[in-house]
Amino acid sequence: MRIAVAAFYFSMGFSFSSWASRIADIKTRLDLNEAELGTVLLCLPIGQLLMMPFSGRLVTRYGSKKVLSIAILLYAAELTNLGWASTAWQLGLALFIFGIVGNMSNISVNTQGVLAEQLYGRPIMTSFHGIWSLSGFTGGMMGLLMINLQLEPRQHFFVTAAIVLITVFIARSWLIGSASSPASTGKLFTKPEAILVKLGIIAFCSMSAEGAMFEWSGVYFREVVHAPASLVVLGYTSFMIMMATGRFLGDRVIAKLGRKKTLQLSGLLVFTGLSVSALFPWIITATLGFVIVGLGVSAVIPTVYSTAAGASRKSPGMALAGVSSIGFLGFLFGPPVIGYVAQLFSLRASFAVIACFGLLITVMVTRLKVMEE
């Protein structure tokens, strides 16, 4: 059962990273400039954001097993449509739908993760997110292989979809069944629970830091650290490796320290890592800072999801949708904020601002009574 749930986490990360690995090729094929590509790429998070109020309701009404089994297939199928796009508007539409089915998959697979953790009776959520990180690396390597084989993105995406299809066929029957609850979905827009808002803000802070690493690490190493071209990706790679490592080790840390102390420590690590990178912008120190940030953010989101599902009066699907809606805003708006602050002051200053989000995580977790010591 745990392996089956992990297989679906892997399928999601593998599909997304396959798309990400071919963005540059698709940009060239469609002859898009940077501004046009940026506008088109925005369609994906818009689709995710618009779907968030509905994903939790679908999972609550029909069960996470049924929704995930369908959504992951749609996710893989829509990936192939990205490869067929021949104009910017077609790619934008495909990305919008990719975001919609991606959010359905995300909420339902994390609901499965929560259910599995409840059945095991011990922390296992961060290991699932570790599988997602590992699949991102695997998908990137797969993309590199496909590029070297000179295969078109659509051919690459069909191979990915086939792998996902086989995985779903094998693992679906081992997913955790959960009773549907049509009556508990309630109104579409209701006043959010205070605990979910607080957990959402913690997720927002963590995902802002993640967004900074994903979107700005290469730029930071090139323009601030002045790393040689061959080492520009060092910061991002170090961050990703440590985030994945932290997620595989996170369950043991949580079992030993508890969720509250783990998140308090995580916030301090995020603050320390970004501060070191901002104050000492040299290759060794900046890389060390990015390593610390990766370790800091590794356990935050899976721990917040586990806590939300147990602390809320709502169903796990609705609780996760509420928290992820707030948290995702950090991933969406964090990188642009870095750009604005960098334009007004400097990129180092923008990293220092995001570092303060780490302290906010620690402060907010300290004041939460829902987590065990």
Give the pTM.
Answer: 0.82
**Max CA separation in the chain (angstroms):** 59
Tell me, what's the pLDDT at 370? 66
Residue 19 confidence (pLDDT) above 80: yes
Packing angle, helices 283-297 and 234-257, rounded to 10: 40
Residue 38 confidence (pLDDT) above 80: no
Residues shown for the chain? 373
Mean pLDDT lowest among 29-43, 107-121, 268-282? 29-43
Average pLDDT over residues 191-196: 80
Residue 207 confidence (pLDDT) above 80: yes
Instruction: Please state the domain extents for the chain.
Output: 2-174, 194-367
Decide which of 3.30.750.210, 3.40.50.300, 1.10.3470.10, 1.20.1250.20 is the CATH code for 194-367: 1.20.1250.20
Mean pLDDT lowest among 32-36, 154-158, 237-241? 32-36
Residue 182 confidence (pLDDT) above 70: no
Average pLDDT over residues 164-185: 78
Average pLDDT over residues 253-277: 94
Residue 188 confidence (pLDDT) above 80: no
| Distant-in-sequence, close-in-space partners of 162: CB < 8 Å, separation ≥ 6 | none
Q: Confidence class of residue 371 from pLDDT cuts 50, 70 and 90?
A: low
Q: Confidence class of residue 180 from pLDDT cuts 50, 70 and 90?
A: low
The tokens for 351 are 């990293």
Residue 185 confidence (pLDDT) above 60: no
Give dist(CA 86, CA 26) in Å, integer. Answer: 9
Q: What is the dihedral of CA 134, 19, 298, 213, to 10 degrees?
A: 130
- Tokens 């797969």 locate to 142
88, 151 in Cβ contact below 8 A? no
Residue 184 confidence (pLDDT) above 70: no
What is the identity of the amino acid at 252? R
Per-residue pLDDT of 336-357, as tens digits, reads 788 888 888 888 998 999 999 9
Tell me, what's the pLDDT at 4? 93
332, 324 in Cβ contact below 8 A? no
The tokens for 133 are 């990180």
Per-residue pLDDT of 57-107, as tens digits, reads 899 899 999 999 999 999 999 999 999 999 999 999 999 999 999 999 999
Mean pLDDT lowest among 50-54, 161-165, 189-193? 189-193
Q: Confidence class of residue 260 from pLDDT cuts 50, 70 and 90?
A: very high
Q: What are phi and psi of 198, to 5 degrees?
A: -65, -45
Tell me, what's the pLDDT at 266? 96
Average pLDDT over residues 308-329: 83
Give dist(CA 152, CA 130) in Å, integer. Answer: 29
Nearest by Cα to 186 from 66, 319, 49: 319
Task: Compute the mean pLDDT over every residue in the chain, rounded to the nearest whole number.
Answer: 88
Tell me, what's the pLDDT at 91? 94
In the CATH hierarchy, which fold is given to the domain comprising 2-174?
A: Growth Hormone; Chain: A; (1.20.1250)
Given this chain, do its domains 2-174 and 194-367 carry the same CATH topology?
A: yes
Residue 209 confidence (pLDDT) above 70: yes
- Tokens 């996170």 locate to 250
Q: Confidence class of residue 189 from pLDDT cuts 50, 70 and 90?
A: low
* Helix segments in 32-152, DSSP class H: 34-41, 43-62, 64-84, 88-120, 125-148
Nearest by Cα to 68 from 22, 17, 116, 20: 116
Q: Confidence class of residue 39 from pLDDT cuts 50, 70 and 90?
A: confident
Give dist(CA 63, CA 266) in Å, integer. Answer: 32
- Tokens 């991606």 locate to 102
54 vs 333, which has greater pLDDT?
A: 54
- Tokens 């917040």 locate to 304
